[in-house]
């Protein structure tokens, strides 16, 4: 009986890993394919960049409410529906005949990814006791952590040797396997009384669309009246969103969440980690491509070893979290990421590329400590009736941070060169030569220091979050007898 239970749990974890891995991979897999897609679909880079942005934007807006929808309709139903939508959306992306079609199909794909991301953490909380969740979050952290980096590598390989359409088609068979496992091994659970916050979702979505459009415009054209006006309008809409949240019956952000110190500080740590750390990845890719003249594919290979090591270590650090709690592993992981940024900041125009390998190993190690510990802290300290909302809000904040990291990377790194040059280097369609390389190097150092400062803020939130009560297996409140 015990072996059957272990086997069922392994298949459940496999279903969750497939879901989160695919969603994370597709957040970056388009990056190295952008130049090829731009040429093949006969469009402009400033438009094709929305293939990436619309994906991140839809996930950022959708995750909180889709987590709540999992509370209402059961997480199994929403998670598996997400897998199905993601798979269909991937097939549509591969078949797109024009850039507008592709952007629209990416939005569909992102809806599925948001359903998966918003409910995966809550499914873990439903199916595993508090003192065993860290290990499971370690496995799903492999999906989030390795997925984004794997997406860059796969994007380079598939686009170079097969064709850009297959960066989407590859999801179809994988998605079908994940859907089979999800339907068979995720427990149905019980629906919970909850309501959607459509006014809050609409106002938050509008604010993020305005600010994101302005961010892309700043990245490609620099600061001008139009994008400043859009940012200002976005801020006004955010203030309206906060007003709405005080009036609706079931707000997008229930204030009682923020009365739980560990939960609040863990979510803030996730936001600032995403804002600071994803910018570092973008910055180093710009360094390797624009200054060192490496191809996008070779650049990604230099970053890959550390993430492979980190992915292997993730479950082990998850087990450590189960024993000692989240604060120490998460804070130490963020500190190691900060050290890696300091190592990156020693790079020059002629530095040995081994420096990148060392820093990549450190970032992989640090993230393998941070993600399982921090995710586990969020779910361990969430009220049971808000599991879906807490899981979704965690991903929402991380994805908003990812959107912001794009702006940080482009805007600060390009202070010493024309902005359009940095934008082209970021997308893999431009290289720098001579004195321009030295100037851009100064901008890269500045961007790295800003990212380091953001990671320090994340570390402080992690350190002062307090100590959560992990409890024991006896605290498991979900009735396991409830089957699908």
Q: pLDDT tens across 392-441, in order?
A: 677 778 778 877 777 677 667 666 666 666 666 655 555 555 555 667 78
pTM of the predicted protein model: 0.75
373: left (phi over 0), alpha (psi -120 to 50) or beta: alpha
**What is the CB-side half-sphere exposure of residue 455 using CA atoms within 13 A?**
28
pLDDT digits over 2-29, tens only? 443 456 677 788 888 888 888 878 877 8
C-alpha–C-alpha distance, residues 35 and 45, integer Å? 8
Average pLDDT of the segment spanning 85-109: 94
CB 431 within 8 A of CB 405: no
pLDDT digits over 239-280, tens only? 898 888 777 777 766 666 777 888 889 889 989 998 888 778
Give the CA diameter of the chain: 69
pLDDT of 476 higher than 70: no
pLDDT digits over 330-359, tens only? 899 999 999 999 999 999 888 888 999 899
| CA–CA distances in Å: residue 117 to residues 56, 79, 324, 384, 417 | 12, 8, 26, 18, 38
Determine how many CB atoms are found less than 10 A away from the CB of residue 273. 29
Per-residue model confidence (pLDDT) at position 1: 42
Per-residue model confidence (pLDDT) at position 428: 55
Average pLDDT of the segment spanning 320-334: 85
Residue with tokens 């459940």: 12
pLDDT digits over 37-54, tens only? 888 888 877 788 788 888
Of 62, 77, 175, 87, the closest CA to residue 126 belongs to 77
pLDDT of 483 higher than 50: no
Between 358 and 371, the more confident residue is 358
Per-residue model confidence (pLDDT) at position 397: 80
Average pLDDT of the segment spanning 364-392: 77
Per-residue model confidence (pLDDT) at position 89: 95
Dihedral (Cα; 224, 225, 231, 235), 10-degree rounding: 150
pLDDT of 168 higher than 90: yes
C-alpha–C-alpha distance, residues 98 and 91, integer Å? 14
Q: What percent of the chain has pLDDT over 70?
A: 79
Average pLDDT of the segment spanning 117-129: 78
Average pLDDT of the segment spanning 69-90: 88
Look up residue 83 and give its two tokens.
Answer: 């897998």
- pLDDT band at 103, cuts 50/70/90? very high
Dihedral (Cα; 317, 321, 327, 333), 10-degree rounding: 0
pLDDT of 478 higher than 50: no
Average pLDDT of the segment spanning 146-169: 79
pLDDT of 107 higher than 90: yes
Per-residue model confidence (pLDDT) at position 209: 84
| Neighbour-count burial for 186-222, b at 16+ CB within 10 Å, e otherwise | bbebeebebebbebbbebbbbbbbbbbbbbbbbbbee
């Amino acid at each position: 009986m015990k072996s059957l239970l272990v086997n069922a749990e392994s298949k459940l974890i496999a279903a969750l890993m497939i879901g989160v891995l695919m969603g994370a991979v597709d957040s970056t897999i388009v990056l190295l394919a952008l130049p090829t897609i731009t040429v093949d679909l006969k469009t402009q880079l400033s438009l094709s960049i929305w293939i990436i942005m619309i994906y991140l934007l839809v996930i950022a807006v959708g995750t909180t409410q889709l987590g709540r929808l999992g509370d209402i309709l059961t997480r199994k139903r929403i998670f598996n529906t997400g897998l199905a939508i993601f798979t269909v959306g991937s097939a549509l992306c591969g078949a797109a005949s024009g850039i507008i079609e592709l952007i629209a199909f990416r939005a569909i794909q992102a809806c599925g990814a948001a359903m998966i991301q918003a409910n995966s953490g809550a499914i873990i909380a439903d199916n595993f006791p508090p003192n065993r969740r860290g290990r499971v979050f370690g496995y799903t952290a492999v999906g989030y952590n390795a997925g984004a980096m794997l997406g860059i590598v796969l994007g380079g390989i598939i686009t170079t040797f097969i064709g850009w359409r297959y960066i989407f088609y590859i999801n179809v068979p994988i998605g079908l396997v994940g859907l089979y496992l999800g339907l068979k091994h995720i427990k149905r659970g019980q629906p919970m009384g909850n309501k959607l916050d459509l006014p809050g979702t609409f106002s938050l979505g509008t604010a993020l669309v305005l600010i994101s459009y302005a961010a892309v415009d700043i990245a490609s054209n620099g600061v001008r009246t139009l994008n400043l006006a859009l940012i200002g309008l976005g801020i006004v809409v955010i203030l309206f969103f906060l007003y709405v949240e005080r009036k609706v019956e079931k707000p997008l952000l229930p204030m009682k969440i923020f009365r739980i110190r560990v939960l609040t500080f863990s979510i803030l740590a996730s936001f600032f980690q995403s804002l600071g750390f994803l910018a570092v990845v973008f910055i180093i890719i710009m360094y390797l491509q624009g200054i060192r003249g490496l191809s996008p594919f070779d650049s990604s290979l230099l970053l890959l070893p550390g993430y492979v090591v980190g992915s292997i270590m993730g479950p082990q650090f998850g087990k450590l979290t189960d024993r000692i709690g989240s604060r120490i592993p998460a804070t130490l992981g963020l500190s190691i990421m900060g050290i890696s940024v300091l190592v990156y900041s020693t790079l020059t125009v002629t530095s040995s590329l081994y420096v990148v390998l060392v820093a990549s190993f450190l970032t992989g190690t640090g993230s393998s400590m941070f993600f399982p510990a921090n995710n586990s802290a969020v779910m361990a300290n969430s009220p049971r009736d808000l599991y879906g909302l807490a899981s979704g809000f965690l991903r929402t904040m991380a994805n908003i941070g990812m959107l912001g990291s794009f702006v940080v990377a482009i805007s600060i790194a390009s202070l010493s060169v024309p902005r359009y040059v940095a934008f082209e280097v970021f997308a893999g369609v431009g290289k720098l030569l001579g004195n321009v390389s030295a100037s851009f190097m100064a901008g890269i150092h500045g961007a790295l220091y800003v990212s380091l400062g953001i990671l320090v803020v994340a570390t402080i939130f992690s350190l002062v979050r307090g100590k959560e009560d992990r409890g024991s297996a006896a605290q498991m409140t979900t009735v396991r007898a409830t089957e699908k």
